[in-house]
Chain A
Amino acid sequence: MGNNFKKIANEELQPDNFSFSNENLLKAKDIVKMYPKNYRESSIMPLLSMAQSQNDGWLPKKAIEYVSKFLNVPEMKVLEIATFYSMYNLSPVGKHHIEICTTSPCMLRGSDNLLEKLKNWIGINTGEITDDNKFSLNRVECLGACVNAPVVKINENYYEDLDLQSFEELINKLSNNKNVKMGPQSSRKGSEPKK
């Protein structure tokens, strides 16, 4: 797979500490309450996601230690989960972390072409990050929205039904800090049949 964002970041990129914001702390406590007391491990995944979005889309070592301490589970258990799932990043990503799906349905709908063009537009390869930290790019397996293929996930949102034109427009808007529309970029609202 060669996913560079799954490698634990170098020491100089690691922050000195990490803790949940007050708002997240309250949420975290609610999450822990959802599970039985002797299954505290169950809260690892939602807490890691929260930590990741609080920390600009990636998990530093301190966040893993923090979650482990917060739940009183061994650090290794948390790290195992953080490395197992592709949705967690362990090194810094760009402001817009683009994850492009290239699994069969998206591929058939032209995702390979989108990826090649995208590399030219933003000037980086997969697993890399632009110099201005605006974009980072990663190729991922099925995002589970095949009915709207091809699909791209940018940070926490899906952008679907892409073609070259709409994709380029989307990337341009993002790089100019303009608002973009989530979901299908075609005339569709959801996954209804095309008129």
Chain B
Amino acid sequence: MVQIFIDGKAVEVEEGITIIQACEQAGVEIPRFCYHEKLSIAGNCRMCLVEMENSAKPVASCAMPVADGMKVKTNTEMVIKARKGVMEFLLINHPLDCPICDQGGECDLQDQAMAYGSGIGRYVEQKRAVKDKHLGPLIKTHMTRCIHCTRCIRFSEEIAGNDQLGTLNRGEDTEITSFLEKSIDSEMSANVIDLCPVGALTSKPYEYLARPWELKKTQSIDVFDAVGSNVRIDSKGDKILRVLPRINEEINDEWISDKTRFAYDGLNHQRIDRFYSRNADNKLTEDSTDNVFNILKDKIINVSKNKIASIVGNSLDCESIFAFKLFLDNLDAKNYECRQDDSYFIPNERSSYIFNSKISGIDESDVCILIGADIKKEAPVLSSRIRQRYVNFEKTYPIFRVGIESKTIFKTIELGSKSNSLRKLNEKKNKDILLKSKKPIFILGQGAMCSKDAEGIFNFSLELHNKFTSKTSWNGFNILQNYSGRVGALDLGFYNKKYTSNKSIKDDIYNEKFEILFLLSADEIDFDRIPDKTFVVYFGHHGDRAVKRADLVIPISCFTEKEGIYVNLEGRPQISRQVKLPLPSVDDFSVVLKKISKFVNINLGYSNPQELRELMLKNFNHISKVNNITESKLPKERKIKNAFLNSEITSSVNNFYMTDSVSRNSPVMSECSMNFYKT
């Protein structure tokens, strides 16, 4: 700790931090443009100048480390004049187009010009104009507004890891662009929109739609992947206009993926807002609620209960899953499943399906082993976190990878794509690295957990993990889930133990073992293989793959139209908030289920969503600890019976931009996928 004086006040701060950070801790505001706490220091905007005793010139506080006894002044004549001067220079080439700029109202330059600028400009010469750049379907550019803070460049290099942005030319001719104006090929690219302190980089889909002060801001969480990024959903009237990240250092820092940010527009397309039933001509036609419920009732009553199969979708909240389970348990129809991909896990062992080290554990780890995890597409936010770890480790952080080759944003040691390649970790060269490490993390992706060798890979990795992390309390054995609803569904026990990763419920469905198939927003099974005789009931909010085969379609509200708990891949329950009302004549699933239960004479034990949640939390105590993770012990090692089948470990996500019914129906996401997945 060192003692420094800020405006005459003594402050104890940590050694090695810079003046701007010390001022922040002391509660003194320093204006800045290029400085950003999550990025490296550039020191090129000069807005953060402060006066330092024994220095003739003002110093850039973002780049100057603190020293014992340093005396800093932030409100003297010199500082005020310096800020005015810098501001005037920055505004020389900045256009006065605030009234038509999307950044207006939330613009750092605008705010700081008001607070620290001189109010008038003396510049009468010609301003420069810069050609706008093409940076892809998400980022709109207005390069004349750019003040060259280089935040976007540093972000791409350090966090997104794609090195496509840079500065061309120099001096007055400086321009920021991507190499030959190619679209920025990164799942995290749109974060530069938030980072840009001016209106140079703005959001294309949000172009000219609203002013920040008109928006209703809802603090919610993301459901497009299992990370559970914290987001703020901005809406105007009944429409969601944009999604922004909220800072949560434990989960997503302050970044979100492009899918999280832009897939919301899928919520306005292809929505199911009416009841449908299949008529005699085998055509899906609109029907009345009572008719549909009566058909359903006849079907349910006249069928033996073990002939009913139920599957829940990937992005559902716990309440819906729990209500559905209550309903099916009461009906005694216990053939239910939440894993449309037959991912491997051990029933009742929570640590066999969650990210045990927690996301923040990545920052402590010293070796990373990725097994069948195409992490760049499966969880871009985590991928960036690993990259940050890799960059902070002077790029000597070893990352091993088993699985089919795919792009990563860090350097990896490729071991091979077959499951047998896992044994290479026991070879001397690799073993030495692992033996030296104290906190290795193993990340088992769905590519591995859905492969034929899942059980073998799981046990082999667990054995390796325990071998290399003896004697510490470190738990770095992680499963990377892909879907926001999966951990919740497994926690709630929405599975039948007789179905394992080798014996799938889907095979029974395809082999005509069932007469009724309930699908709760489940769209990822092969609908062509469902036998014609099976009666398919689909509850959902999007007319996606399932409706082509469904015999009854019952509309339910989607995640922005209700409040619900989601458990992220770490096992952290978080609450997703209601942003808008459901579509007219559409109800929440729990309400729909309540109505159906009356038709078939079942008492579900709740009368409204609030009671449903209370009932659920009473039964599953750990979900009630919102934002906290309940620790769980690693499963016991099991001896591996057979050698690996040596199957190929593939990637579990083909197209990052289209992974569920919402993103598949989003125009912005389809534009992205056309742009980045050209075949």
- A interface, CB within 8 angstroms of B: 1, 6, 8, 38, 61, 74-77, 79-80, 83-84
Contacts and interface: CB of A to CB of B under 8 A. Distances in A.
Interface string B139-176: 00000000000000000000000011111111001000
B620 to A, nearest CB: 48
A80 B173 contact: no
A79 B179 contact: yes
Contacts of A74: 163-164, 166, 179
A8 B395 CA distance: 33
A74 B184 CA distance: 13
A38 B166 CA distance: 20
B156 to A, nearest CB: 9
8 contacts: A61-B180, A74-B166, A75-B179, A76-B164, A77-B166, A80-B166, A80-B167, A83-B170
User: Shortest 8 CB-CB distances between A and B: which pairs?
Assistant: A74-B163, A76-B166, A83-B168, A76-B179, A80-B166, A75-B179, A83-B169, A84-B170
Given A76-B165, A76-B166, 4 more contacts: A1-B173, A61-B180, A76-B179, A77-B166
B112 interface: no
Interface residues of B, number: 13
B178 interface: yes
Contacts of A38: 395
Contacts of B164: 74, 76
A50 B170 CA distance: 22
Nearest to B164: A76
A71 to B, nearest CB: 13
A76 B170 contact: no
Given A61-B180, A76-B178, A76-B179, A84 B166 contact: no
Contacts of A79: 166, 168, 179
Interface of B: 163-170, 173, 178-180, 395
B436 to A, nearest CB: 20
Contacts of A80: 166-168
Contacts of B178: 76
Nearest to A68: B179
A85 B180 CA distance: 18
B398 to A, nearest CB: 16
Nearest to B171: A1
A61 B163 CA distance: 17
Nearest to A61: B180
Contacts of B163: 74, 76-77
Contacts of B170: 83-84
Contacts of A75: 179
A37 to B, nearest CB: 12
A128 B165 CA distance: 30
Contacts of B165: 76
A41 to B, nearest CB: 12
A110 B27 CA distance: 60
B147 to A, nearest CB: 18
Nearest to B395: A38
B142 to A, nearest CB: 21
Nearest to A85: B170
Contacts of A76: 163-166, 178-179
A119 to B, nearest CB: 24
Contacts of B169: 6, 83-84
Contacts of A1: 173
B160 to A, nearest CB: 12
A84 B175 CA distance: 11
Contacts of B166: 74, 76-77, 79-80
Nearest to A81: B166
Contacts of B180: 8, 61
B678 to A, nearest CB: 19
Contacts of B168: 79-80, 83-84
A1 to B, nearest CB: 7
Contacts of A77: 163, 166
A38 B396 CA distance: 11
Nearest to A6: B169
* Among B164, B166, B178, residue most surrounded by chain A Cβ atoms (within 10 Å): B166
A145 to B, nearest CB: 22
A38 B179 CA distance: 23
Nearest to A64: B179
A109 B169 CA distance: 30
Nearest to A8: B180
Contacts of B167: 80
Contacts of A6: 169
A66 B168 CA distance: 19
A3 B169 CA distance: 11
Pick the most buried of A38, A74, A76: most chain B CB atoms within 10 A of its CB: A76
Contacts of A83: 168-170
A76 B162 CA distance: 10
B466 to A, nearest CB: 35
A79 B179 CA distance: 8
A84 B174 CA distance: 9
A79 B173 CA distance: 15
A1 B168 CA distance: 15
A83 B168 CA distance: 6
A25 to B, nearest CB: 24
A77 B180 CA distance: 12
Nearest to B178: A76
A80 B178 CA distance: 10
A38 B395 CA distance: 10
A75 B168 CA distance: 12
A39 to B, nearest CB: 12
Nearest to B166: A76
A80 B169 CA distance: 7
A80 B173 CA distance: 12
Contacts of A61: 180
Nearest to B153: A76
A77 B169 CA distance: 12
A11 B179 CA distance: 15
B189 to A, nearest CB: 14
A117 B164 CA distance: 44
A156 to B, nearest CB: 23
A44 B30 CA distance: 38
Nearest to B168: A83
Nearest to A75: B179
A80 B395 CA distance: 23
A76 B395 CA distance: 20
